[in-house]
Amino acid sequence: MRKTGRIYEELGITPVINALGHPTAIGGNTPSPTVRAAMEDSLSDYVEMSELMDTVGNRIAKMLGVEAALVTSGAAAALAVGAAACMTGTDVKRIEQLPDTTGMPNEFVIQRQLRVIYDRALEIPGGKLVQVGEAGGTRPEHIEAAIGPRTAGIHYLAGGLYDDPDKRTDSVHIRDVIRIAHARGLPVVVDAAGQVYPTERLSKWAQMGADLVAYGAKYFGALNSSGILVGKKELVQAARDNSFIGFEAKKIRAFGRPMKLDRQSVVATYVALREWLTMDHEARIHGYERRLAPIHTKLSGLPGVTLVRFPEQGLMEGLRVVVDPQAAKMTAQDVVRKLKEGKPKIWVRQFAGNPGGHRGRLDSGDDSFIIRMQTVREGDEDIIADRIKAIIAT
């Protein structure tokens, strides 16, 4: 019998087996025992939050080989205070004026092909997104033509967990974006929320010259509501002044006050990153392969089902289940829906057709869903396999 958290039993909430990944909709991430122990230890004493934030920021910057770092309450919060930093610098009057941007640059140029729902974060402090490019692609001259006296910066989407921005041909490469921006004295703000593996991606864009880069800390093992902003020292300082710690430590009426952090969240981000940078990732992913084996065995031979390793190249961390609606007498969407209706609920990653430009696009053009092992609790792989087999075999 699968053990359920006592608090969820008390509340009458049906637990979810998470074979989807790190979505906020089902809680984001479960920290490792090491991270949880550090969080518990951090609660033994109170500390001055400004000292904790600065110390951890300095440690993270050193670990990643970047100028500066700031812990935030998620990647979206990092983008929000980062956008604010581009508009205000460390000018207290401007910081306290936000989200009213009268008299200051507030436009962020963004490529049409790199739009996602998360770029809304740049608008929170008063930023305005200026979309450029054509349906067939964006060229450097599109970006250059959009730059004017109201431009505060250029936004760039590095992509999700499995996107490789170096392989894109429909948008302007980050190197050219940085060149265009810096030639005009403008900063580049990068959304790299899920780009945490290979681990060099945690430093890549800042070391290339991007001024601010946002990451979701849940992707490297911290809490769902945590992230980091890394980059140029003066802009990270401006982001700090726009954040809750600027409000508390400097008494600046900063818009970022609602995006505060607990001390255990700050500690968790530091410890999780240290653990992520030092772990044996090949062993981690080979562990997923081992646990996928019984799923593969149980689902092989089901009518209308084809199993494909995920990702198709590189180390395997999941399994794509392709469903032929005619042979299986149901669609992949039907299977996904029934998985969510069971007890416990099971969430898998599913895209059929064009997913609409969301971060982390996994579309293959077929009717399929993906079982991702990174967030599956040990032993739950058998429940997943048995449930899918029962649904398709009926």
Residue-level pLDDT at 46:
98
Q: Which residue has the tokens 């209308």?
A: 304
Residue-level pLDDT at 354:
36
> Which residues have a Cβ under 8 Å from the Cβ of 3 and sit 6 or more positions away?
none
Q: What does 117-129 look like in DSSP terms, one character per residue? A: GGGGGGGTTT-EE
Domains of the chain: 6-28+280-393 (3.90.1150.10), 33-278 (3.40.640.10)
d(CA 104, CA 88): 8
Mean pLDDT of 32-38: 98
d(CA 80, CA 100): 14
pLDDT digits (tens, 9 = 90+) for 290-299: 999 999 999 9
CB 223 within 8 A of CB 31: yes
Q: What is the pTM for the complete model shown?
A: 0.94
Confidence band, pLDDT 50/70/90 cuts, at residue 394: confident
Confidence band, pLDDT 50/70/90 cuts, at residue 3: confident
Q: Is residue 112 packed enough to be buried (19+ CB in 10 Å), middle (13-18) or exposed (0-12)?
A: middle
CB 165 within 8 A of CB 131: no
Distances in Å between the Cα of 81 and the Cα atoms of 147, 187, 393 are: 22, 14, 51
pLDDT digits (tens, 9 = 90+) for 235-249: 999 999 999 999 999
CB 295 within 8 A of CB 281: no
Distances in Å between the Cα of 73 and the Cα atoms of 78, 217, 283 are: 7, 9, 30
Q: What average pLDDT does the structure give for the chain?
A: 93
CB 187 within 8 A of CB 235: yes
pLDDT at 220 over 80: yes
pLDDT digits (tens, 9 = 90+) for 93-134: 999 999 999 999 999 999 999 999 999 999 999 999 999 999
pLDDT at 359 over 90: no
Residue-level pLDDT at 311:
87
pLDDT digits (tens, 9 = 90+) for 152-188: 999 999 976 677 788 888 999 999 999 999 999 999 9
